[in-house]
Amino acid sequence: MPRSSKAAFLALACLAGAAPAPAQTAAESAPPAVPALAGTPSDTLLDALACRTTGADLGGLLPRLRRERPAEFVQAERQYSAPPMDLYRLDEPVQAWGHRSDAIVVTDDRVLMLVDAPIDQAAAQLERALEESLAAPLSGALDEYHALVVYAGERPGLQGRTLIGCEYRIPGVSLLADPADAWRTKRP
């Protein structure tokens, strides 16, 4: 396949993987633990971007990020609604999926990095990174609970850029939920 066709195919395959998972019972919804790579120190943000966060750790992801990176995750730079998502700026860029970025987006079920490139360029870079990693296992487990997602930013301030990261398909878990943010949630 020519490179542009491969990139388009990869982007479509990743987007196709973003379809909602079928309904499951609570017992079936707990994903298996994803082992950390031997000798690799754990970083909550990098683990979340690379699909290495376990189901048991997802509920407290945002509070843990706020404890570990207080200058970066205390206040969102920008908040979006319908669906809700928060944009955070990091002091130093992080690297995942062949990209570096200092902009992180958290949604109810995704942790993404905002890449300053249109989707075709970002997908081509992702494809190169995946090709280079053929000799080594992927850094995260992509299974029915973890999916790599790649899509074009369409919201104000995100146009012309690409979002790349992990979608966590675990019913009832919201990555944006944090008891410290209870004032944001509507009461019944």
Per-residue pLDDT tens for 77-123? 999 998 899 999 999 999 999 999 999 999 999 999 999 999 999 99
Domain assignment of residue 64, yes or no: yes
Domain assignment of residue 145, yes or no: yes
Please tell me the predicted confidence (pLDDT) of residue 144.
Answer: 86
Number of folded domains in the chain? 1
pLDDT, one tens digit per residue, over 161-184 is: 999 999 999 888 889 877 666 655
**Three-class DSSP category at 130:** helix
Residues 6+ apart with CB under 8 A from 151: 11, 14, 15, 18, 119, 162, 163
Domain assignment of residue 149, yes or no: yes
Count of beta carbons in the 10 Å neighbourhood of residue 108: 13
Domain that holds residue 68: 3-17+43-179
Domain assignment of residue 152, yes or no: yes
Please tell me the predicted confidence (pLDDT) of residue 120.
Answer: 96
Domain assignment of residue 26, yes or no: no
Q: Over range 37-50, report the average pLDDT.
A: 72
Domain assignment of residue 29, yes or no: no
